[in-house]
């Protein structure tokens, strides 16, 4: 059951309010050339490999230092809650965080990626957006920490990565069929940001309350 839960948490991360607004940016990198579907898929697999490496390493860490992580899980919830609130405020336009508002800069970059550079992009993505998917990722890491096994911890985060990876890959393959959906997201980008920011604020407050309840 824990394996299925972790896999579902990965899928939930993809459709979370902080990943949804950046999907068009992802598409602009890996699927701009509809005539080169093979290249888009290869680069997408590189991107997936990049963020999977980081998440699996986190799983190894969780399995190794499980007792420590589990002991301080309430503090982790509070920290992730604060991150979510900050990101939510950014999406609402109340504060400005540079790395969360770099879509214009990204669109100007050379998108002629290779498999290797796509891996690097995936690593950067995972490091940049880990706080944003914290609600789901922290749950997966806490579950991995209870195993007391490096291999099981790594496997659980591999499943989490697969859950996040499959929607990205499907998005690349079926881009043309999903084009209307992404055009809608781009057209209503500001509204989606506001809704996403509000949801993130609620998730952040919920995480903080959960952490404080565990402490007291």
- pTM score: 0.69
DSSP 3-state assignment of 154? helix
Q: What is the mean pLDDT of residues 132-151?
A: 69
Tell me the C-alpha distance between 105 and 22, whole Å: 13
**Maximum Cα–Cα distance for the chain, whole Å?**
58
DSSP string for 51-112: HHHHHHHHHHHHHHTHHHHHHTHHHHHHHHHHHHHHHHHHHTTSS--GGGS-HHHHHTS---
Q: What is the mean pLDDT of residues 14-42?
A: 69
pLDDT of residue 81: 79
pLDDT classification of 65: cutoffs 50, 70, 90: confident
pLDDT of residue 162: 93
**Whole-number Cα distances in Å, 145 to 19, 52, 72:** 25, 18, 11
pLDDT of residue 53: 93
Given a cut of 50, whether residue 109 has pLDDT beyond it is: no
pLDDT of residue 107: 45
Are 110 and 31 spatial neighbours (Cβ–Cβ below 8 Å)?
A: no
29 vs 49, which has greater pLDDT?
A: 49
Q: Look at 23-32, 34-43, 70-79, 187-196 and tell me which has the smallest mean pLDDT.
A: 23-32
pLDDT of residue 135: 60
pLDDT of residue 30: 66
* Nearest alpha-carbon partner for 162 in 63, 14, 2: 14
- Other beta carbons within 10 angstroms of residue 150's beta carbon come to 17
Q: What is the mean pLDDT of residues 182-210?
A: 79
Are 208 and 81 spatial neighbours (Cβ–Cβ below 8 Å)?
A: yes
Q: Where are the domains of the chain?
A: 2-71+98-187
């Amino acid at each position: 059951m824990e394996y299925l839960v972790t896999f579902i948490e990965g899928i939930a991360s993809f459709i979370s309010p902080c990943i949804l607004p950046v999907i068009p940016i992802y598409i602009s990198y890996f699927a701009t050339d509809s005539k080169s579907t093979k290249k888009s898929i290869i680069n997408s697999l590189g991107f997936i490999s990049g963020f999977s490496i980081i998440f699996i390493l986190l799983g190894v860490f969780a399995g190794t230092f499980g007792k420590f992580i589990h002991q301080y899980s309430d503090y982790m919830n509070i920290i992730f809650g604060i991150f979510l609130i900050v990101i939510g405020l950014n999406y609402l336009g109340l504060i400005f965080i540079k790395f969360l508002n770099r879509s214009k800069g990204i669109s100007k970059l050379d998108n002629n990626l290779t498999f290797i550079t796509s891996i690097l992009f995936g690593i950067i993505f995972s490091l940049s957006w880990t706080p944003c998917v914290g609600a789901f990722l922290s749950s997966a890491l806490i579950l991995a920490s209870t195993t007391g096994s490096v291999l099981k911890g790594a496997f659980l985060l591999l499943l989490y990565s697969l859950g996040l990876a499959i929607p990205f890959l499907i998005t690349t393959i079926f881009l043309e069929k999903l084009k209307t959906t992404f055009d809608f997201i781009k057209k209503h980008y500001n509204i989606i940001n506001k809704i996403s920011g509000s949801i993130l604020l609620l998730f952040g407050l919920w995480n903080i309350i959960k952490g404080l309840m565990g402490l007291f």
